[in-house]
Amino acid sequence: MRFGIVRFPGSNCDFDCERAVRSGLGEVPVILWHKEESLLGADIVLLPGGFSYGDHLRAGAIARFSPIMKAVRAFAAAGGPVLGICNGFQILCEAHLLPGALIRNRGLRFRCHSVYLRVESTVTPFTGEYGERQILCLPIAHGEGQYVADADTIDELERDSRVIFRYVDRAGETTTDSNPNGSLRGIAGVCSAKRNVVGLMPHPERAISQLLGSADGLGVFQSAVAALASLEGVAS
Amino acid sequence: MIRPRPGILNPEGQTIERALRDLGYAGIEGVRVGRTIGLRIEAADLTNCEQLVREACERLLANPVIEDFEFHVSEVSNPPLVAG
Amino acid sequence: MIRPRPGILNPEGQTIERALRDLGYAGIEGVRVGRTIGLRIEAADLTNCEQLVREACERLLANPVIEDFEFHVSEVSNPPLVAG
Amino acid sequence: MTPVEPGVLASREAVPPRVDSAASAGRTPDRDDLLSLAIRHGLTEEEFDAILRILGRLPSLPEVGVFSAMWSEHCGYKNSRPLLKTLPTTGDLVVEGPGENAGVIDAGDGWGVAFKIESHNHPSAVEPYQGAATGVGGILRDVFTMGARPIAVLNSLRFGSLDSARSRYLLDGVVRGIGDYGNCVGIPTVGGETIFDPAYEHNPLVNAMCIGIVRLDSLARGRADGVGNPVMAVGARTGRDGIHGATFASAELDESSHESRPQVQVGDPFTEKLLLEASLELIQRDLLVGIQDMGAAGLTSSAVEMASRSGSGIDIDVALVPVREEGMTPYEILLSESQERMLLVTHPDCVADVREVLERWDLQAATIGTVTDDGTFRVRESGQVVAEIPVTELVHGCPTYTRDAEESPAAKRLREMDLTSLSGLDTDSEAAEALLSLLQSPSIGSRRWIYEQYDTSVRTNTVVGPGSDAAVLRLDDTGRGIAASVDGNGRYVFLEPRRGAAIAVAEAARNVACSGARPVAITNCLNFGNPLGTAVYHQLSEAVAGMGEACRALDTPVTGGNVSLYNETPSGPIYPTPVVGMIGLLASLDHVVPCAFQETGDVVLLLGNTEEELGGSEYLAVRYGLVAGAPPALDLAEARRLVDFLVRAAEAGLLRSAHDCSDGGLAVALAESCIAAEPAPLGLDTQLRAGVGAAATLFGESQSRVVLSCTAGNEARLREMAREYDLPVTGLGSVGDPHGGFRVATETLQIDLDVDQVRESYESALPGRMEREAGLTS
Ligand SMILES: Nc1ncnc2c1ncn2[C@@H]1O[C@H](COP(=O)(O)OP(=O)(O)O)[C@@H](O)[C@H]1O
Ligand SMILES: [Mg+2]
């Protein structure tokens, strides 16, 4: 089983994803340079955070045209698990692999601190190991994380349980104060119609060890391993 | 010129509106912030140039989920001049 | 309309220029990114309105150290509409 | 909309205008023309005569520019070098001392820590966002040119009172500038300090410090060795921005600075990130002979410094430098301070590989010259020589000055002011109000509003981020830790420069030791006024002496730093502000000690003595609007014992928390340890018996004090250990309940508040003043 981590110019959480996979799972991921056109046999694709192309124009707008994205698109279309974190989420939205868009935070400021998230659906390759409505503590670090989409899209996401993570308070309630960026309905992460592509703004890869404050993010990576194992089990 | 679509939140505009009000400018509303992109493009003729620019806007420069665009092209000596 | 002053580096424009080139648009150059701010303002008359907008640009909307601005005012039914 | 026409600036903003007009008039400038030009560049007539002696002829226009830049205070240290020479710079752990782009210490297991601090005060006064952003960019480059991967940045900031709209604008812009740059490059900002005082109203201080880690066997250096080796310019194209920033940084700000706009440089963190990755790859693959950032005085200083370190010469052709605008003159290309550029020296056999790496990172590169052995900095324009100067004269020939020093009578008067006549604290409610107003003071209240705009956790090394005494980072996956803190107290230094500067070192060491780390070395930034003033020179020379004394006592040598003089405005000089960036090491991250109280019932102890010392305190400033009295006494031997004790107690696992007592005194330190508790603030029940007045007990800033907490079971051992180190310990009381009461009693007064109310004051200090100010431009 192989994690592939895409590196765009300006990605800066690629190292953190790599470290999470190594130290959290004991796996050695493969780094996928954006100018490549192959996923080098990766079974799970991670689009890390950062500022691809300096976030110029719009966050993720330019990265989506990278050669590697053709391969990612094909991989996603074939049902392969793809996770976009922060800038990776923005890229997936720009590439229309996920619905909606991420605009400047309410209040315009970059915000970095811990947030509480509620797992809204465990039916994705990246949340299967969490409990239903489990509360996680993960860091955020973004300036453009306000999730928006038109009303029909939002309704559809809610109806199909495609909202995967929601910002909540410690007690698990959605409140204005617990929503760090003004996202509609406190949406922190969504998935594609086929549920194999997931994007979220918070950083699970930074929450792998209690030494740094939280190990709640590890489940995202463990879920991917488990999902893949069960797929392979079905296949064999 | 690329502007937030009507109905899409515009946090930049909201913040400016509030700041203007704090500075004592009453009666200002509906502030919306967009982007302008100016560039020079080499093309056979104006029609061709317009087509190029429209395509660039659709593919890259604007995000149709949240933005509308409009542009105008004017010929400069050579190469022609475009303001998007 | 607020634009980077001539001679001031515009990294965003450079990146976009490169991206357009990579997308196969040849012959594009001099890409510069600025901002547009649209707003409605209530004022006694157009002159008064212009004055208000100029002042707002100078005080708040543009950063004179690195940006130039230009605006135009047009009357709408009530209140009038401004594009800066 | 009209695109920029290349070259339109040439006539408007060419530098220097007067000589261009002489040249365009077709007249060769004579000695007087050149002298007046040199003077406008900040050189003196004596220095101009020295140039004539060195060259044996009249200088060319580019040569005047080159000399003035290299002999500016910023590059040449002409007023500070004799003083800096007195600082201790060697030690067992020092791998690189001053002289390279950054200092390096040995952190064990083959790892080195590279670190350096640098000022960007003047650019930030003119354009806070870009000024601060490019300051971060510059210091990152200083560190990664050593081959070190930057893992954290810190910053030290000074602004005028937040009651002024200008100060709020500056704070907002500086914070966004630091954040946007570091966030985009992906280096966490893990700490810093921010002080507000009217003394900085028109001259804010923006000092940025970067920490990087490097395998000691792959250290890179800024050298130009090997005759015939190619010299390459890499990164952003050279534009007209920031021309003569180096001399700008060395001249007082006056009203007309706002007109000198082209000196503002715009940063591009995206290019910086590419440059960072490409440089580290080049160094890793051993493709370089030397590498240096083109920082202050751009191409000139990088080329000259690299040649100087190697005792070689450099021959470059400015026509080969990739430029952003047409028609740039040799003068402009030599002195441009366009950001995100590096100068590389490689080997002829490696050029192709170097180009391959740079291309992969979408970076431009051009070979612009070669290394020579004639010790000359030779500049050509399309082959024709336009400047030819001996390298050593540029670097070492700069005259240095020891100025007249005399203490400012005003400072002396304030220091000697009788504080006993001030009305004291008489009632419980006065004491409570005084505490709350201190916690509300922008210089003491929570910095959360600032540091939540910084990415503090990217790279997953941040074990302790902002908001604690010192930041703690993991050193790769070795289990070891690096701690860092920046400190400086301009009021103390103003009132008594030598003691004030020593306190800055001692406080930084104490902060680092509170986190459990052993302080090992410092970098420093000397932010002072115009050294030609006798009072300022007195401050500078005394402060450097005090810093040296403290560094020797604490065994923390100086591995580098930066000097920023001429921090003056029409309303006078700033407070003399030496800023100390201290690095500490932890053998194991298991020994990290938090600053927050951990558990209800834990015992609270105070290390150190509380004296009748209110001089220079935040209490006097907040309650009486007064900066007066002698700063607290500092016993360096005791400061050293305190550090040793803290490290040993941390290693023995005896400490639940440790928090330095500094601005705002003991009552504020106690409040901070309560507020910082997670997940909810903890209450407190304490009784302070210091044998001094209530104000000094609660809010005095006596040195070498630390608030500790431990389990009841460990109290006896801790007390015993403190006795071994000859440190006074006092029991204060115990940690209370979550959201509980906050009770601090002195012999005469009692503060009785809810910890939630205490926290509210503390947390609202900045948002209450800033949240209506939004970042709208740039
Ligand atoms: N206050 C100081 N104390 C000790 N060393 C200093 C101080 N200021 C500057 N230095 C050292 O002098 C050398 C030259 O500094 P500088 O010219 O500022 O380097 P840079 O070109 O990176 O700005 C550096 O190694 C620096 O560390
Ligand atoms: Mg340097």
Residues 6+ apart with CB under 8 A from A17: A3, A5, A29, A46, A48, A85, A205
What does the radius of gyration of chain C's CA atoms come to, in whole angstroms? Answer: 16
Of A54, C16, A65, which is closest to residue D274 (Cα–Cα)? A54
Pairwise pLDDT comparison (C65 vs D510), residue with the higher score: D510
Q: Which of A62, A94, A103 sits opposite B11 (nearest CB)?
A: A103
Closest C-alpha residue for ligand 1 atom 27: D560
- Do D495 and D539 contact (CB within 8 A), yes or no? no
B24 compared with A136, residue with greater pLDDT: A136
Q: Give residue A128's pLDDT band: very low, low, confident or very high (50, 70, 90).
A: very high
CB D336, CB D264: distance < 8 Å: no
**pLDDT (mean) for A189-195:** 98
Q: Which amino acid is at B66?
A: I
Two structure tokens written together for D201? 């109203």
User: Are the C-beta atoms of A25 and A61 separated by less than 8 Å?
Assistant: no
List the one residue out of A218, A192, A162, A161 whose CA is nearest residue A80: A192
For C26-60, how does the pLDDT look when each residue is reduced to its tens digit (9 = 90+)? 888 889 999 999 988 888 888 888 888 898 888 88
Question: Which amino acid appears at position D255 of this protein?
Answer: E
Note whether D56 contacts B: Cβ–Cβ < 8 A: no
- Distance from C-alpha of D441 to C-alpha of D238, rounded to nearest angstrom: 44
pLDDT recorded at residue D251: 52
pLDDT reported for residue D259: 40
- Which residue has the CA at smallest separation from atom 13 of ligand 1? D99
Interval between CA D97 and ligand 1 midpoint (Å): 10
Give the integer Cα–Cα distance in Å for A103 and A193.
22
Q: Residue D440 corresponds to which amino acid?
A: Q
Say how many Å lie between the CA of residue A54 and the centre of ligand 2.
24
* pLDDT at residue D28, as a whole number: 76
Distance CA D645, CA D642 (A): 5
* C-alpha span between D488 and D505 (Å, rounded): 8
Counting ligands in written order, the one closest to the CA of D100 is 1
Cα angle vertex C56, ends C52, C60, to 5°?
170
pLDDT for D254 equals 44
3-state secondary structure string, D650-677? HHCCCCCEEEECCCCHHHHHHHHHHHCC
Residue D149 · residue D212 · CB < 8 Å: yes
Average pLDDT of C15-33?
Answer: 90
For residue D508, what are its two tokens?
């930084």
CA of A140 to the centre of ligand 1 (A): 36
Taking the CA of residue D268 and the nearest CA in chain A, the distance in Å comes to 8
D84 lines ligand 1 (CB under 6 A): yes
Residues of chain B found within 8 Å of residue A107, distances taken between Cβ atoms: 11, 15
Q: CB–CB of D552/D545 below 8 Å?
A: no
- Interface probe with A: pick from C15, C25, C31, most Cβ of A within 10 Å: C15
Report which bound ligand comes closest to the CA of D523. 1
User: A57 to chain C nearest CA, in Å?
Assistant: 7
Rounded-to-10 torsion of CA D519, D525, D530, D536: -10
CA distance D1 to C17: 17
User: Is D606 or C80 the better-scoring residue by pLDDT?
Assistant: D606
- Show the tokens assigned to D319: 């026509």
Q: Whose CA is nearest to atom 14 of ligand 1?
A: D99
Distance of alpha carbon D16 from alpha carbon B43, whole angstroms: 40
B26 vs C: CB within 8 A: yes
Q: Give the 3-state secondary structure of residue D429.
A: helix
H helices then E strands: how many in chain C?
Answer: 2, 5
Give residue-wise pLDDT tens across range D99-157.
999 999 999 999 999 999 999 999 999 899 999 999 999 999 999 999 999 999 999 99
> Quick one: pLDDT at residue C42?
84
Q: Chain C 20-59, CB below 8 Å of chain D: which residues?
A: 30, 32, 34
Percent residues over pLDDT 90 in chain A: 96
Cβ–Cβ under 8 Å, residues D78 and D398: yes
Which bound ligand lies closest to the C-alpha atom of D85?
1
Tell me the average pLDDT of chain B. 84
Q: Do C28 and B39 touch (CB under 8 A)?
A: yes
Report ipTM for this prediction.
Answer: 0.90
CA distances from A213 to A137, D154, D577, D651 (A): 9, 20, 35, 21
Q: A interface toward C at CB cutoff 8 Å? A: 53-54, 56-57, 62, 65
User: Would you call C72 exposed, middle or buried from its count of C-beta atoms within 10 A (0-12, 13-18, 19+)?
Assistant: exposed
Rounded CA-CA distance D463/D486 in Å is: 17
C-alpha distances out from residue C55 to A13, D127, D169, Å: 43, 20, 17
Res D772: pLDDT:
60
Residue given tokens 């793809």 in the structure block:
A82
Is A205 annotated as catalytic? yes
Write the CB contacts of D209 (distance below 8 Å, at least 6 apart in sequence).
D115, D116, D117, D118, D139, D153, D154, D155, D156, D484, D486, D523, D581
Residues D104 and D217 sit within 8 Å (Cβ to Cβ): no
* A86 in active site: yes
Cβ D119 under 6 angstroms from ligand 1: no
d(CA D298, CA D243) in angstroms, rounded, equals 9
Token representation of residue B42: 């080499």
Which chains, if any, share at least 3 CB pairs under 8 A with chain A? Answer: B, C, D
3-class SS at D199? Answer: helix
- Cross-strand partners of D387: D379
Closest CA to D62 of D315, D379, D405: D379
Per-residue pLDDT band for A120 (boundaries 50, 70, 90) equals very high
Q: Which helix (DSSP H) or strand (DSSP E) does residue D276 occupy?
A: helix D269-284
Nearest residue in A to B2, CA atom: A57
| Residue D18 confidence (pLDDT) | 37
For tokens 């205490």, name the residue: D758
- Compute the distance between CA of residue B77 and CA of residue A205 in angstroms, rounded to an integer: 54
Residue D118 Cα to ligand 2 midpoint, Å, equals 9
pLDDT of amino acid D301: 95
* Strand pairing class (D365-372; D313-317): antiparallel
pLDDT of residue B28: 87
**pLDDT higher for C74 or D354?**
D354
B 64-83 residues with CB < 8 A to C? 79
pLDDT of residue C43: 82
Q: Are D595 and D471 in contact (CB under 8 A)?
A: no
pLDDT reported for residue D775: 42
Cα angle value A48/D276/D453 (rounded, 5°) = 60
Residue pair D732/D594 in contact by the 8 Å Cβ criterion:
no
The residues with which A163 forms a beta bridge, in sequence order, are A190
- Separation between Cα atoms, residue C67 and residue C1, nearest integer Å: 10
Collect all residues with Cβ–Cβ distance below 8 Å to D21 and sequence separation of at least 6: none
- D133 with D239: CB under 8 angstroms? no
Stronger pLDDT, D569 or A184, i.e. the higher one: A184
| pLDDT for residue C5 | 83
Task: Output phi, psi for D632, to 5 deg.
Answer: -55, 150
D295 lines ligand 1 (CB under 6 A): yes
Gap between the Cα atoms of A83 and C68, Å rounded: 42
pLDDT block averages, 10 residues each, chain D of length 778: 29 34 59 89 92 95 93 90 96 96 97 97 93 96 97 98 93 97 98 96 96 97 96 94 57 43 77 97 97 92 97 98 90 92 97 97 96 97 97 94 94 94 91 97 97 98 97 97 98 98 98 98 97 96 98 98 91 94 98 98 98 97 96 98 98 98 97 96 97 96 98 98 98 98 97 98 94 49
Chain C closest-CA separation from residue D361 CA (Å) = 13
Of A13, A17, A86, A191, the catalytic one is A86
- Is residue D753 within 8 Å of D695, Cβ to Cβ? no
User: Looking at per-residue confidence, does B83 or A219 come out higher?
Assistant: A219
Q: Are A211 and D461 within 8 A, CB to CB?
A: no
Q: List C-alpha distances in Å: D123 to D9, D67, D245, D560.
A: 21, 22, 8, 22
Contact D593, D650 (CB under 8 A): yes
DSSP letters of D103-161?
EEEEEETTEEEEEEEEE-HHHHHH-HHHHHHHHHHHHHHHHHTTTPEEEEEEEEEEES-
**Structural element, H or E, at residue B35:** strand B28-41
Which runs of consecutive H residues, i.e. helices, occur in chain A?
A: 14-19, 67-77, 87-94, 151-159, 218-235
Q: Which of D556, D406, D440, D439 is nearest to D487 (CA)?
A: D556
